[in-house]
């Protein structure tokens, strides 16, 4: 390598300096390297003088500011300089963007809100009952969104969706220009970019987020089909009124399924994508006018893009007014009890795990009937009006549970407590209240089916409704071996309500009149295990039976109101029993999800169920259930009172509907049962309470079940 000079000459290297001698001074002023002549610079011996060095350095002086120019031209770059600078910047930017693009990956998972949905519960008639979950969103397949509704969204947001690469060049330029100007980026995003923002990123309008959004959009456009992207976009977009996704938007604004929307309604929903707070007519002043203008513009764009004919456009001259915002359907009142009952059933009778259910997206069609629920709730509230907890201690801590079950197993109504948000414990499904004498029909049924054994070693003998038993008070309880002795060495004696003695009484009348002593002895004669077996076959849970002491036939078992209503429905159905269920159908994302539905089976012989039914009708005609006559002909039922007066029941049916009502007082601190003495102002010494049968009668009268 040579230094550039006008002339290069070779000179003979100077002779080497003599080595210093002792006479040579070693101190003195500094001497310039050029003081003794030319200085060798290169290995080949080439040297350069000071003049040559100055000439070379002048060739490398800066070219900006421009030499040889004066005034402002001295400072204005030439076109070559400008072009070179632009090329350099473009190269650097392109390199940086390429590196960023290569390093940006599609996130492995979606945002939590993009996958989580709410679960929607419906009444038996299909109307919405409640929604649970933090996000009001329901996925729906693109195929179920009408084509015109899809094109309305595309006309409003991205009409070139099916032909673009997933990004908007103009949007990118606008983002860069706004960034340079110091403003947030906004607008101009394709549907793919909007989906990326909804599903993977956050909603902040920053340049770095915008770049990431564009890079992911390009990659996503190469990975997913356009239909898949559009489907996900429509399912994750915000439409206002708490609704994510077009399915929930269709319900929120028009009260219908998305598949029922027309082009006009779809155009309005597409308008909301630009900003629900600006275009929802119910959200603020001026919104209606903006909504109408935007709706009309979307329809016109559909015509311009060839997705809506002029003839069809001419049909849509009236703005499709959305319905008023629906009331928030929470879990207050009885709704929470219904939701929890249905949820527990589907988790126990489907393959849906609790974790899967928590992710949402399920539509649960329940068996609960809105009118029956309203009638039952009113009946309980009116019954409670007779209580005065502020004045009477006996009226405090009163708990009422009630349930209506059809003979096919459908739970159509229940009352779980005063308010689910205040008392989450469901009294309609609790197993803490003794059934009392409402349990005796199962003793009667077991005797009619299996007969009795009064002496050990002797065959069992049959009984009929007319079979007589001793109905006197305080008769001793007998076993096949003789009297039954308790642990203290005393003979156990049965006691009738009010200490009344009835003499010899038929089993049918003993049931109808709630005479304890014959029923207690009948249970011993049949066998307590057989009695429990019949109760379970009729519909009670084995776990609710507890131990089987001698008083077991008089209702020490603690079945829930749902189970008692279901078991009595077996008598109404001539011995056929169906397990109670509260979910009639389950769907997710438009697909049916299997949920087991119980099938009825013959649990009791028809003649046995018929005899029990006859006794329960007699109880209403001329027994302890006379007040239930007001419910109309064909009514059957049985009152129930625990021996220690800590519970009261009425269970009855008319036609195909069986309803059970339980009453108890529960100490909130110890959860122990309290006596019902004096409840509702009844005189001291009154056994049980008339509240359950009055409540039942008022409810059934209101419904007029045929």
Average pLDDT value for residue range 257-286: 91
Task: Give tens-digit pLDDT for 522-561.
Answer: 999 999 999 999 999 999 999 999 999 999 999 999 999 9
| Mean pLDDT across 482-489 | 86
Buried b / exposed e over 343-359, threshold 16 CB at 10 Å, is bebbbebbebeeeebee
What confidence category does residue 510 fall into, taking pLDDT thresholds of 50, 70 and 90?
very high
CB atoms within 10 A of CB 284: 12
At residue 104, does pLDDT exceed 90? no
- Residues in Cβ contact with 14 at an 8 Å cutoff, skipping those fewer than 6 apart: 36, 37
HEC string of 47-95 equals EECHHHHHHHHHHCCCCCCCCCCCHHHHCCCCHHHHHHHHHHHHHHHHH
**How is residue 163 written in tokens?**
């032909």
Label residue 30 by pLDDT band (50, 70, 90). very low
Lowest model confidence (mean pLDDT) among 54-58, 185-189, 236-240, 298-302: 185-189
**Which residues make Cβ contacts (< 8 Å) with residue 90, sequence separation at least 6?**
none
| Of 413, 251, 421, residue with least CA distance to 330 | 421
Contact 494, 520 (CB under 8 A): yes
- State the virtual CA torsion across 567, 573, 578, 580 in degrees, nearest 10: -50
pLDDT at residue 125 tops 90: yes
Are 263 and 313 a contacting pair, CB within 8 Å?
no
Range with the poorest average pLDDT among 30-44, 204-218, 277-291: 30-44
Question: pLDDT digits over 579-628, tens only?
Answer: 999 999 999 878 899 999 999 999 999 999 999 999 999 999 999 999 99
- Tokens 């390297």 sit at which residue? 33
DSSP 277-302: HHH-TTTSTTHHHHHHHHHHHHHHHH
- pLDDT, position 180: 54
Rg (CA), the chain: 44
The pLDDT value given to residue 201: 62
Q: Confidence class of residue 75 from pLDDT cuts 50, 70 and 90? A: low
For position 667, what pLDDT does the model report? 93
Span 81-98, average pLDDT? 68
Q: What class, spelled out in words, does domain 137-315 have in CATH?
A: mainly alpha
Specify burial of residue 282 (Cβ count, 10 A radius: 0-12, 13-18, 19+). middle
What's the pLDDT at 81?
A: 65
* 3-state secondary structure (DSSP) of residue 654: strand
List pLDDT tens digits, range 441-477.
Answer: 999 999 999 999 988 888 999 999 999 999 999 999 9
Predicted pLDDT of residue 391: 92
Residue 137 to residue 235: CA distance in whole angstroms: 8
Peptide bond into 65 cis (omega under 30): yes
- Fold for domain 120-127+331-432+582-600+632-706? Beta-lactamase (3.40.710)
- In DSSP terms, 120 is beta-bridged to 131, 363
Residue in this structure with the two tokens 């996900």, named with its chain if needed: 232
Return d(Cα 691, Cα 66) in angstroms, integer: 106
Q: Which of 102-111, 366-375, 424-433, 604-613 has the lowest mean pLDDT?
A: 102-111
Mean of pLDDT values over 19-46: 50
Cβ burial, residue 581 (10 Å; 0-12/13-18/19+): buried
The reported pTM is 0.74
**Residue among 560, 517, 551, 529 at smallest CA distance from 651:** 560
The predicted pLDDT at position 67 comes to 66
Per-domain residue ranges for the chain? 120-127+331-432+582-600+632-706, 137-315
According to the model, what pLDDT value does residue 313 have? 94
């Amino acid at each position: 390598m040579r230094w550039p000079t006008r002339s290069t000459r070779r000179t003979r290297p100077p002779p080497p300096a003599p080595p210093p001698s002792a006479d040579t001074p070693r101190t003195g002023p500094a001497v310039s390297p050029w003081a003794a002549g030319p200085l060798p610079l290169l290995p080949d011996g080439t040297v350069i003088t000071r003049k040559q060095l100055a000439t070379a350095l002048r060739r490398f002086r800066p070219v900006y500011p421009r030499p040889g120019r004066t005034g402002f031209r001295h400072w204005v770059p030439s076109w070559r300089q400008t072009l070179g600078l632009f090329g350099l910047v473009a190269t650097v930017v392109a390199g940086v963007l390429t590196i960023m693009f290569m390093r940006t990956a599609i996130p492995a998972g979606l945002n939590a809100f993009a996958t989580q949905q709410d679960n929607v519960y419906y009444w038996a008639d299909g109307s919405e009952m409640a929604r649970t979950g933090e996000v009001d969103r329901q996925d729906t397949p693109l195929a179920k969104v009408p084509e015109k509704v899809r094109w309305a969204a595309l006309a409003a947001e991205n009409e070139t969706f099916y032909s673009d690469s997933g990004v908007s060049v103009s949007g990118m330029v606008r983002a860069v220009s706004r960034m340079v100007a110091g403003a947030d980026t906004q607008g101009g995003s394709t549907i793919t970019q909007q989906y990326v923002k909804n599903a993977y990123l956050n909603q902040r309008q920053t340049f770095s987020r915008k770049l990431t959004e564009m890079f992911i959009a390009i990659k996503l456009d190469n990975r997913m089909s356009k239909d898949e992207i559009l489907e996900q976009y429509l399912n994750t977009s915000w439409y206002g009124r708490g609704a994510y996704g077009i399915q929930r938007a269709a319900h929120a604004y028009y009260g219908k399924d998305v598949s029922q929307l027309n082009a006009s309604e779809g155009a309005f929903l597409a308008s909301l994508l630009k900003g629900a707070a600006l275009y929802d007519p119910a959200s603020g002043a001026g919104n209606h006018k903006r909504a109408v203008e935007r709706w009309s513009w979307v329809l016109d764009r559909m015509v311009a893009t060839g997705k809506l004919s002029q003839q069809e456009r001419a049909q849509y001259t009236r703005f499709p007014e959305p319905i008023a915002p629906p009331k928030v359907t929470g879990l207050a009142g009885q709704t929470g009890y219904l939701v929890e009952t249905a949820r527990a059933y589907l988790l126990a009778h489907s393959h849906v795990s609790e974790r899967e259910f928590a992710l949402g997206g399920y539509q649960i069609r329940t068996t609960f009937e809105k009118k029956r629920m309203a009638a039952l709730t009113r009946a309980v509230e009116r019954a409670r009006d007779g209580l005065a907890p502020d004045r009477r201690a006996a009226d405090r801590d009163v708990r009422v549970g009630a349930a209506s079950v059809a003979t096919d197993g459908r739970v159509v109504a229940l009352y779980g407590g005063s308010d689910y948000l205040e008392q989450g414990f469901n009294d309609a499904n609790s197993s803490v209240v003794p059934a009392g004498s409402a349990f005796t029909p199962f003793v009667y049924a077991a005797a009619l089916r299996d007969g009795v054994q009064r002496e050990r070693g002797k065959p069992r003998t049959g009984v009929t409704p007319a079979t007589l038993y001793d109905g006197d008070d305080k008769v001793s309880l007998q076993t096949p071996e003789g009297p039954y002795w308790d642990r203290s060495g005393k003979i156990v004696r049965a006691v009738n309500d009010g200490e009344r003695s009835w003499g010899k009484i038929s089993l049918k009348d003993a049931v109808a009149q709630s005479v304890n002593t014959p029923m207690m002895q009948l249970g011993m004669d049949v066998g307590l295990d057989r009695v429990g077996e019949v109760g379970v076959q009729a519909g009670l849970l084995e776990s609710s039976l507890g131990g089987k002491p001698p008083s077991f036939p008089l209702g020490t078992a603690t079945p829930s109101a749902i189970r008692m209503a279901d078991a009595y429905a077996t008598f109404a159905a001539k011995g056929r029993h169906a397990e109670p269920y509260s979910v009639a159908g389950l769907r997710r994302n438009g697909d049916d999800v299997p949920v087991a539905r119980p099938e009825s089976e013959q649990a009791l012989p028809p003649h046995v169920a018929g005899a029990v039914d006859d006794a329960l009708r007699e109880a209403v005609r001329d027994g302890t259930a006379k007040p239930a006559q007001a419910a109309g002909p064909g009514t059957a039922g049985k009152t129930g009172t625990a021996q220690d007066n800590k519970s009261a029941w009425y269970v009855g049916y008319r036609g195909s509907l069986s309803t059970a009502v339980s009453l108890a007082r529960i100490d909130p601190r110890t959860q122990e049962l309290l006596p019902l003495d004096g409840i509702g102002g009844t005189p001291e010494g009154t056994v049980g309470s008339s509240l359950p049968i009055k409540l039942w009668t008022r409810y059934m009268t209101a419904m007029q079940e045929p």
